[in-house]
Amino acid sequence: MLTTRWYIVVFEHNPTNPLTGFVVRRTPVDKDAVMISVGSLERVAKKVGLNTVAKRGCGMVPPISKLMHAIDAQIALLCPLAAQYMIVLRQE
């Protein structure tokens, strides 16, 4: 029997970044938003049969120069500091 595996990719605001929380609380479009941490999302995903394939932070600083882009890439490795995060989930 052929089994199809699928992936889910989630980009989310990082609630552990204080600046992100500040912006989300003051943005009208996000007035009812509830941010979920990467750890909480992983736990929920695991309960419904999804495994984490990859995760990383993203978007800490605007890419206004090559230096800033390089700094952002290094900070992105530290998911708790990033403004947003990306997580890739796969069906078990």
Tell me how far apart the alpha carbons of residues 74 and 12 are, in angstroms, rounded to a whole number.
19
Domain count, the chain: 1
pTM of the model: 0.74
CB atoms within 10 A of CB 26: 9
Q: What is the CATH number of the domain that holds 38?
A: 3.40.50.150
User: Average model confidence (pLDDT) for the chain?
Assistant: 84
User: What is the structure's pLDDT at 45?
Assistant: 95
What is the domain range of residue 27? Answer: 7-91
Is residue 66 exposed (0-12), middle (13-18) or buried (19+ Cβ within 10 Å)? exposed
pLDDT range class, residue 91, cuts 50, 70, 90:
confident
Tell me how far apart the alpha carbons of residues 28 and 5 are, in angstroms, rounded to a whole number.
38
Decide: 14 and 82 in contact? Cβ < 8 Å: yes
Note the pLDDT tens digit of each residue in 38-53.
999 999 999 999 999 9
What does the angle CA 43 – CA 87 – CA 36 come to, to the nearest 5 degrees? Answer: 55
Residue 2 covered by a domain: no
User: What is the structure's pLDDT at 16?
Assistant: 87
